[in-house]
Every structure is written in C-alpha cells, then in structure tokens.
Amino acid sequence: MIELNWLLFTFLLAAVPFGQIVARYLADVDLRTAGSGNIGATNVARVVGKPAGLVTLVLDVAKGLLPVMGATWLSTEPAFWGLVGLTAVLGHCFTPYLRWRGGKGVATSLGVLVGLVPWVALGGLVAWLLGVGLSRRSSVGALIALPTVVVLAALWSPPLVGWVVAIAGVVALRHTSNIGRLLAGRELGVDQLSSKETVTAGGAGTAGGAGTAGGAGTAGQS
C-alpha cells in the first residue's frame, strides 16, 4: 500500500506546473497563451526571462529527483524505482491541474535519471549540450540526448533500461511538434529565448512580443 501511495504522491507532485506558477507570480502571465504555449523552463525563459527560467528548471528537475530518491529509500526493487520515475515524467507531461496539458518532460526526466543512474544522466546532459551547441536549438539537444541515455542505460544499468526507454518514449512523443518544425525549418533557436519575447512584472510585454515575426512561434513549441 505504501508503494501505491508513493506513486500517487509522485504523480500529483510532478504534475504541479511550476512554470505556470512562476510566470503568474513574477509577471502575471498565463504561459498557455504566451510564447510557445508550453509551461516548461524554456518558455518561461522566453516569456518572463532567464532567471525565472532557471528557477523553473531547478523545480522541474527536483520533482523528478525527489520522488525517485524516496522510492530508493522505500524499496529495494529497481522496478519500483523505474515506475516512480516514469510516473513523475507522466505527471509533468500530462498534468490534471491544467487539463492534462503539461510540459515536454526533459527537465523532470533529467531529475529522474540523476536519482536512478547519475552517470547516464551526465552522459545525456553532455549530449544535450553538444546538440544545442551545434544546432542552437534546445529540441535538437533533447532529441540527441534521448537515444544517448537509452544506450548508456543498456551498457551501465541493464535492470533499468526498460524504464529509461519508456521515459525517453514519453519525452519523444511530447516533441512531435518540435520535430515537425525542425523538418520545416521553423524551430526556434536558443538565442531567441528571451530576446524576442519578454514580459515584465505586471504582464507588460517588450518589443517583439507574442505573435510577431520571428517571435515565440506556435503553440506547442519548447
């Protein structure tokens, strides 16, 4: 019973839309109608500013890491740890607090991997940084990191590789629209995170706000 309760707690905690909360508190803006429409750290940085994006990133990583750490304390079964990690990612991506419309799951997945397989997480982070460095696009970094963590998990932690594959699959599914924009050459670059669309406290936008050419793009972007 305690394991079931922990799974429920994990889902409800991971479903907390920290990006939306941060944006509301700092700038009185609804992320679902600003920038890309996504509630993750990337869109918070784009719409509210990089410091707010960093706060959101830390919180989203933590809601993947902490439940997994608790799971390793509650149980000695790797299968339970993996299930908790997958539950955290699902909670973030499909939050009931926002009518099941959550984030992309990259930061929360990173937190899960740090708790389960730290060296795999490090390898995935390096792959993400390389992808972003070469393409200047966050989504490219994520799409390169996903197969990287699967391969590393297969090599370094076979008992958990199935769960890592499942988590990577959820994150890849959430990036379907990004893949479409990449193929069409319309995906936003990281250099545009805060320069095109920033909202000051109280919700007032700066030049180049939502909906302008070269701005935050269409709903569903990173």
Determine the distance from the C-alpha atom of residue 53 to the mean position of all C-alpha atoms in its chain, rounded to a whole number: 11
Distance CA 55, CA 63 (A): 13
Give per-residue pLDDT as tens, 108-132: 999 999 999 999 999 999 999 999 8
Give the residue among 13, 15, 11, 53 at the shortest CA–CA distance from 31: 53
Distance CA 63, CA 88 (A): 7
| Strand blocks (E) in the chain | none
pLDDT of residue 124: 96
The length of the chain, given as a count of residues: 222
Comparison of pLDDT for 134 and 222, the residue scoring more = 134
Distance CA 109, CA 104 (A): 9
Give per-residue pLDDT as tens, 31-40: 888 777 788 8
